[in-house]
Amino acid sequence: MTAFWCVTATADLTLSAGVYGTPGTYKVDNCVNTSNTRRNSDYDCYGHFTPDGGSADDAVYMHLRRHWA
């Protein structure tokens, strides 16, 4: 499990640092914890992604899912 976390965390860090992917801004509208246990969390988040240099017309509605073990 630790190795999986390290790989996932590294991928998340490189994406958030702009090493790959389209640079821009993600504005979260809402997040919901879909887990029915208190030990683990599964978040579904919804919001809009706007690429750098883009306008409100360029924003794309997106669904993000994150599992925290």
pLDDT in tens, 8-37: 445 555 555 556 678 888 899 998 888 887
66 closest CA partner among 31, 16, 28, 19 = 31
Two tokens, residue 10: 């590294």
Q: Please write the tens of the pLDDT for every residue from 32-56.
A: 888 887 777 788 889 998 999 999 8
Q: Which amino acid is at 4?
A: F
Which residues lie closer than 8 Å to 34 by C-beta, 6 or more apart?
42, 43, 44
Q: Rounded to an integer, what distance in angstroms lies between the CA atom of residue 68 and that of residue 4?
A: 12
Tell me the whole-structure pTM to 2 decimals.
Answer: 0.56
H-assigned helices in 1-69? 2-16
Question: Which residue's structure tokens are 């640092």?
Answer: 17
pLDDT at residue 48, as a whole number: 92
